[in-house]
Structures are given as C-alpha cells and as structure tokens.
Amino acid sequence: MKLRRLIPQLTLTLGFLIAAEKQRVLKPGWNLFSPDQDVQMGKEYAQEIERQFQIINDPALHNYVNRIGQRLVNGIEGQKFPFTFKVVNDPSINAFALPGGPMYVHTGLIAAADNEAQIAGVLGHEMGHVMLRHGTNQASKANLIQIPAMIAGGIFDKGGITGTLTQLGIGLGANSVLMKFSRTAENDSDLFGARLVHNAGYNPVELARFFEKLQAEGGRDSRFKEMFASHPNPGNRIKNHACPN
C-alpha cells in the first residue's frame, strides 16, 4: 500500500526535477578575470596551440566545421565571445576550447562521429565551457591570492600572459584548471550545449549517444582516453539531455 502511494509521488517529484533542469539558468560563476581578459588570454594560448599542433588548412574541412560552429553561435543569446573553429590534424578523438572562444576539433573526432549532430553536440558542449567561463572560474578559485596581484601588476597590459600564468600552473596541460573541469561544470556545459544544438535544429541526444559510444569503446582504444580525461562523464547524459529546452 505504502509503495503504491509513494510511486505517483516520486514520479511527480522526478517530473518537477526534470522541469527544473530544463529551466535552470546557466550563468558564469565567480571570476577574478573580466570577459575581455578571457579573450586576451585565449588568443595568446591559441598561438601556443597552433605552434604545437598542425592546423588543417583544407578549406572544405575548415568551412564544414566553421559552418556548424556558426550555426551554434547564432543560437547564443546576449553577449557572445568571438568564437573561432579550427581543425587539428590528430587521429585522437578530442576537441577543446580555450577561454574567450578559440575552439579546436581533432580530425579523429570528425572521423569517429556518426553524423553532423554529434560534431555539433561536441562543439556546443565546448562552447558551454567558454560561455560559462569554466576555465577562468577554476583558475580564479585555485589562485585567488596571486591572480589579483598579477592583474594589478599589469600582466594584461604587457602581453606575455601565458608565461606568467604557467608559473601558477595555469597552462595548457591535460590536468590544467583551464582544460579539465569539474563534474558540475561538465553537467552545465552539457545542458548549455544541448540548448544551442537544439536551437540550431540538431538532435541534442546525439551528443549523449556519441559520449556513450566512446565510453563503450573507450576501454579498448586509447584514442578515446584523452576526451574522457578532460571531460569526465557527469553520469546519465542520455537521460539528462534527451529533450533540453
């Protein structure tokens, strides 16, 4: 008897929770940097990335990824970061974004995706990290004593930002606060990305399918590990994002 009474109640509660998730307002957290400083920082790190990795100049491939990216950018409400989309010649399945908008997709990810909606899903997710400013939020929390002094000391006026930040451990490595996010941040980026993907007319569930596919194959193929190292699965991606709005 008790259980029978409980089930409709639970269903109701779950319904409210799902509705709340759909309406959840996503905003950047506390941050010592300004959005302009995210942009300046991202530009400087982008130069470093583009020295380290081979960027594909093939216009057809670049235009393809850029077109998907711009479709998603159009769905962002309010102030946007100046997003750029580039393809990195690397067989590992990965994509990453720098603060302020530079975004990179590996050729391995494009090859592994089953459809365009999956690529859009990954891009949307990465754009979530940029728009919600997860990188500089984490850097701020980890270095709240040193960063105000560095900003006051004029690092953003003199250039050479990355050198100074790297001394604090705010670099581009896989475990850097700029590149590896908390599960909460992953969850928020999933939701942000799913909304963008939905606005652009793609099926948002494809991102979850792509992550599940990678996870299923991840144990056997080292190419998948990089993606999961920097984007820990918050759990239940399909259930959470089957129908975002």
The binding site for Zn ion (CB under 5 A) comprises: 186, 189, 231
The one catalytic residue in 50, 116, 126, 206 is 126
User: What minimum distance in Å lies between the beta carbon of 127 and Zn ion?
Assistant: 10
Q: In what order do the strands lie in the sheet with 95-97?
A: 84-88, 102-106, 95-97
Query: What is the distance between the alpha carbons of residues 213 and 65, in angstroms, rounded to a whole number?
Result: 21
User: What minimum distance in Å lies between the beta carbon of 96 and Zn ion?
Assistant: 9
φ/ψ of 31, rounded to 5, equals: -155, 135
Query: What is the distance between the alpha carbons of residues 87 and 110, in angstroms, rounded to a whole number?
Result: 9
Of 185, 204, 90, 75, which Cα lies nearest the Cα of 135?
Answer: 185
Please name every residue paired with 106 in a beta bridge, in sequence order, or none if there are none.
88
The smaller minimum CB distance to Zn ion, of residues 155 and 170, is found at: 170
Query: What is the distance between the alpha carbons of residues 55 and 46, in angstroms, rounded to a whole number?
Result: 11
Nearest residue to Zn ion, scored by beta-carbon proximity = 231
The smaller minimum CB distance to Zn ion, of residues 44 and 190, is found at: 190
Collapse the DSSP code of 5 into the 3-class scheme (helix H, G, I; strand E, B; otherwise coil) and give the result.
helix
The smaller minimum CB distance to Zn ion, of residues 135 and 155, is found at: 135
The smaller minimum CB distance to Zn ion, of residues 80 and 183, is found at: 183
User: What minimum distance in Å lies between the beta carbon of 181 and Zn ion?
Assistant: 5
126 noted as active-site residue: yes
- Asked if 118 and 206 touch (Cβ cutoff 8 Å), the reply is yes
User: What minimum distance in Å lies between the beta carbon of 201 and Zn ion?
Assistant: 22
Would you name the residues annotated as active-site residues? 126
